[in-house]
């Protein structure tokens, strides 16, 4: 049977990647100290986070004060998980009471400069990226008995899925870097004060914001377009008339991600939004185009098969009981005419079931017990497990592959391009839940994209129910496959992503690129639904000059760098691509796999002939941010006169039958992790 026949029969394969990081191997963000106790520990005295979400992206500013209570100068090394698509744009260190902004150099050069400044006893700092795992900040010296203050700023695009937006401030390190775990321990306690403040500015009306598991958070709606979130403590305060401190509450611990959800009102139309930056009308501009489709993808109601591919390697120790419980509950929710397979993998893969079994009460009980009895151990042969899971798929059945792992392969085949090659041999669409920080998100997202699937990251602090509800609609509804976007009327180049793949129910599409001149553009989005052609059109004007969003240049550059890295992982490292990625990071002052940001005294920048490009870029960005904050929220919708979509956006409230936002608050987390569709309505 050829692939087109399989496609027309609606073969959809779901891969759920969930590293259930609830066990003892995880590590929080914090100050690193050698596990052998060769150096005394420093303190995180203050930790303050400020977030602004507007116009399709978020800017996160983190200020910290490190304290050295010891009698000798020490180096501070602070580590935290890499935020999803987070581009570090500023690293500032206070020297002699004044802030000094860092500059980006090639990675080896930046480390050499930092080590030379450290050896000379001069104040210096460096921010480096450890692949997909962590950002590591080194500061030297933290003077004996004194404080050192730093600031880090990163930016990332945001999106809304099925009416729900989500922001994550990552603090829980995923525990996947065994070498780091073996050498370092992290001091994750904030001894004095902690705060998290977010401002949400949206021209599309928002019904509510929430922070799961943070009942002390204060959430306020400032006006129709603005919301504010405040969370924090102050753990010590000077008693009146004395110089002593009195403890108010336990120290804040940087061990759990902070997550903010926002829900848009029902009935908002599908839309096209355009944000641009073109300060010189004679030169090229940068654009971010966000397409939010209307809800016109129809539900699918046929039965399905479920294949569980379970990681039983040693890294799952401490997590496996939760994994087994989730599988048991998932099996218990299946309909009698559903079928399932269970594949286990560590150093190798084996099938617990002998092919598909019907989801009868007896089979559910039997295999639930067998899964619970497994003892995790050994390495992670992810390739072998996934290959066995892909075996024996039947074209006339909707199949869901549930892959439970942290996505860090360390046994057998580990090259990303080999996973891609395997997946391209079958008509398999991967819907990937990436749970936990420091999982190999780039590889999992690349696998998903290669299969025209859908990926979503999940934190331990998430309302997992809400994430599953959003993702389940990708399986229960049709999708627009083979998506292409054509822009005519003006010149556009360097558009990312190069290949879009598929658009699923409730999913937004974000495109970034460059454009020249100005004028009316004709935009068409096309693809196929169940094998039949489908297209949407509109037209709108690209402005000749706009100066409100200079951050777009960095967002575009970082997305382009990530795209180049994915290409090199798929096809092998190429000198020209590596150099192109390095050049982009240097031009736009971004911390990447190939570049780092270094801070030193102003006179040392001058002595080393290092141009202060990032200092200048930051000044432009800060000025624009202040201007935006002082003006009312502006709508960025550009297709109002000729709507691209005729239907309202997809939302979690379907026909008034179920308020899914309330469901987020009421349902337990894991029991519905692998929940089945309602037999009559075709939804969870």
What helix, strand, coil percent values describe the chain, rounded to 5?
Answer: 25, 40, 40
The whole-number pLDDT of residue 575 equals 83
Average pLDDT over residues 498-514: 93
Average pLDDT over residues 534-559: 97
407-423, pLDDT tens digit by residue? 677 788 888 888 888 88
How many Å apart are CA 111 and CA 117, to the nearest integer? 10
The whole-number pLDDT of residue 573 equals 73
The whole-number pLDDT of residue 117 equals 97
pLDDT level of residue 186 (50, 70, 90 thresholds) = confident
Higher pLDDT pick, 246 / 372: 372
The whole-number pLDDT of residue 77 equals 92
Higher pLDDT pick, 27 / 607: 607
CB 256 within 8 A of CB 215: no
The whole-number pLDDT of residue 512 equals 98
Strongest mean pLDDT among 556-570, 649-663, 669-683: 556-570
Residue spans of beta strands (DSSP E) within 383-445: 398-404, 431-435
Pick from 268, 298, 270: which is nearest to 537 by CA?
A: 270
Backbone angles phi, psi at 511, to 5 degrees: -115, 140
Higher pLDDT pick, 371 / 175: 371
How many Å apart are CA 331 and CA 370, to the nearest integer? 13
The whole-number pLDDT of residue 131 equals 82
How many Å apart are CA 1 and CA 57, to the nearest integer? 44
Residue 214 has pLDDT above 80, yes or no: yes
Q: Model's pTM, two decimal places?
A: 0.83
The whole-number pLDDT of residue 104 equals 98
pLDDT level of residue 468 (50, 70, 90 thresholds) = low
Residue 677 has pLDDT above 50, yes or no: no
Q: Is the omega angle on the peptide bond into residue 497 within 30 degrees of 0, that is, cis?
A: yes
Average pLDDT over residues 278-289: 95
Residue 129 has pLDDT above 90, yes or no: yes
329-340, pLDDT tens digit by residue? 778 777 777 889
- Range scoring the smallest mean pLDDT among 199-213, 632-646, 663-677: 663-677
- Reduced to 3 states (helix: H, G, I; strand: E, B; else coil), residue 174 is coil
CB 383 within 8 A of CB 343: no
- Range scoring the smallest mean pLDDT among 71-85, 134-148, 473-487: 473-487
The whole-number pLDDT of residue 464 equals 53
3-state secondary structure 18-67: CCCCCCCCCEECEEEEECCCCCCCCEEEEEEEEEEEECCEEEEEEEEEEE
The whole-number pLDDT of residue 667 equals 34
Residue 167 has pLDDT above 60, yes or no: yes
385-415, pLDDT tens digit by residue? 989 988 888 777 777 777 777 667 778 888 8
What is the total residue count of the chain? 684
The whole-number pLDDT of residue 269 equals 96
Residue 221 has pLDDT above 70, yes or no: yes
Higher pLDDT pick, 300 / 443: 443
Average pLDDT over residues 247-257: 75
Residue 19 has pLDDT above 70, yes or no: no
Question: What is the average pLDDT score of the chain?
Answer: 82
How many Å apart are CA 15 and CA 433, to the nearest integer? 8
224 CB-side CA count, 13 A: 7
- Range scoring the smallest mean pLDDT among 256-270, 466-480, 525-539: 466-480
How many Å apart are CA 403 and CA 16, to the nearest integer? 5
Residue 25 has pLDDT above 70, yes or no: no
Domains of the chain: 11-21+300-477+650-672 (3.40.50.410), 27-262 (2.60.40)
Higher pLDDT pick, 236 / 166: 166
pLDDT level of residue 591 (50, 70, 90 thresholds) = very high
- Range scoring the smallest mean pLDDT among 210-214, 253-257, 465-469: 465-469
The whole-number pLDDT of residue 566 equals 83
638-673, pLDDT tens digit by residue? 999 999 999 999 886 543 223 333 333 333 333 333
pLDDT level of residue 469 (50, 70, 90 thresholds) = low
The whole-number pLDDT of residue 542 equals 97
Residue 676 has pLDDT above 50, yes or no: no
Question: Considering the chain, what percentage of its residues have pLDDT values greater than 70?
Answer: 79
């Amino acid at each position: 049977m050829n692939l087109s026949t399989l496609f027309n029969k609606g073969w959809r394969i779901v891969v759920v990647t969930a590293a259930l990081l609830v066990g003892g191997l995880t590590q929080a963000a914090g100050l690193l100290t050698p596990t052998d106790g060769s150096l005394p520990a420093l303190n995180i005295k203050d930790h303050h986070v400020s977030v602004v979400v507007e116009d399709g992206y978020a800017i996160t500013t983190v200020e910290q004060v490190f304290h050295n209570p010891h009698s000798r100068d020490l180096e501070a090394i602070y580590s935290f998980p890499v935020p999803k698509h987070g581009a570090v744009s500023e690293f500032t260190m206070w020297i002699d009471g004044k802030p000094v902004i860092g500059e980006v150099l090639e990675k080896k050069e930046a480390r050499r400069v930092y080590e030379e400044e450290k050896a000379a006893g001069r104040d210096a700092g460096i921010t480096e990226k450890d692949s997909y795992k962590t950002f590591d900040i080194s500061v030297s010296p933290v003077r004996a008995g004194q404080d050192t203050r730093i600031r880090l700023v990163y930016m990332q695009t945001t999106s809304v899925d099925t009416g729900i937006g989500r922001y994550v401030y990552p603090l829980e390190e995923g525990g996947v870097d065994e070498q780091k775990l073996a050498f370092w321990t992290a001091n994750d306690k904030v001894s004095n004060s902690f705060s998290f403040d977010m401002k949400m500015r949206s021209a599309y009306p928002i019904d509510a914001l929430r922070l799961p598991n943070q009942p002390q958070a204060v959430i306020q709606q400032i006006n129709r377009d603005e919301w504010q979130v405040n969370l924090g403590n102050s753990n010590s305060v000077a008693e009146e008339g004395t110089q002593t401190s009195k403890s108010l509450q336990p120290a804040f611990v940087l061990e759990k991600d902070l997550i903010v959800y926002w829900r848009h009102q029902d009935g908002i139309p599908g839309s096209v939004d355009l944000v641009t930056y073109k300060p010189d009308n004679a030169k090229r501009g940068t654009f971010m185009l966000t397409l939010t489709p209307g809800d016109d993808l129809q539900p699918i109601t046929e039965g399905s098969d479920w294949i569980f591919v379970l990681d039983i390697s040693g890294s799952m120790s401490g997590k496996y009981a939760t994994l087994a419980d989730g599988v048991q509950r998932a099996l218990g929710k299946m309909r009698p005419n559903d079928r399932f397979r269970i594949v286990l993998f560590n150093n190798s893969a084996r099938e617990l079931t002998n092919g598909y079994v019907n989801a009868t009460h007896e089979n559910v009980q039997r295999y639930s017990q067998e899964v619970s009895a497994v003892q995790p151990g050994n390495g992670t042969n992810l390739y072998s497990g996934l290959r066995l899971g892909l075996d024996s798929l039947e074209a006339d059945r909707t199949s869901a592959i549930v892959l439970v792992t942290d996505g860090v392969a360390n046994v057998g085949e580990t090259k990303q391009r080999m996973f891609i090659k395997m997946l391209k041999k079958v008509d398999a669409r991967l819907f990937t839940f990436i749970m936990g920080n420091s999982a190999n998100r780039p590889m999992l997202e690349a696998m998903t994209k290669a299969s025209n699937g859908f990926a979503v990251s999940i934190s331990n602090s998430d309302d997992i129910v809400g994430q599953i509800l959003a993702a389940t609609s990708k399986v229960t509804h049709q999708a627009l496959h083979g998506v292409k976007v054509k822009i005519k009327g003006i010149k556009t180049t360097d558009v990312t992503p190069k290949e879009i793949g598929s658009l699923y129910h409730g999913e937004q599409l974000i495109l970034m690129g460059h454009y020249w001149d100005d004028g009316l553009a004709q935009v068409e989005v096309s693809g196929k639904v169940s094998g039949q052609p489908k297209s949407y059109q509109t037209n709108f004007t690209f402005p000749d000059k706009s100066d409100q969003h200079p951050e777009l240049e960095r967002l575009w550059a970082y997305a382009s760098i990530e795209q180049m890295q994915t290409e090199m992982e798929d096809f092998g490292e190429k000198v020209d691509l590596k150099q192109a990625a390095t050049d982009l990071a240097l031009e736009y002052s971004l911390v990447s796999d190939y570049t780092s940001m270094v801070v030193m005294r102003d006179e040392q920048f001058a002595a080393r002939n290092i141009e202060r490009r990032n200092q200048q870029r930051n000044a432009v960005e800060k000025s624009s941010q202040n201007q935006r904050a002082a003006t009312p929220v502006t709508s960025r919708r550009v297709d109002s006169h000729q709507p691209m979509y005729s239907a309202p956006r997809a939302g979690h409230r379907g026909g008034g039958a179920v308020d899914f936002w309330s469901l987020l608050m009421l349902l337990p987390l894991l029991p519905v992790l692998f929940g089945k569709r309602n037999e009559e309505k075709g939804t969870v």
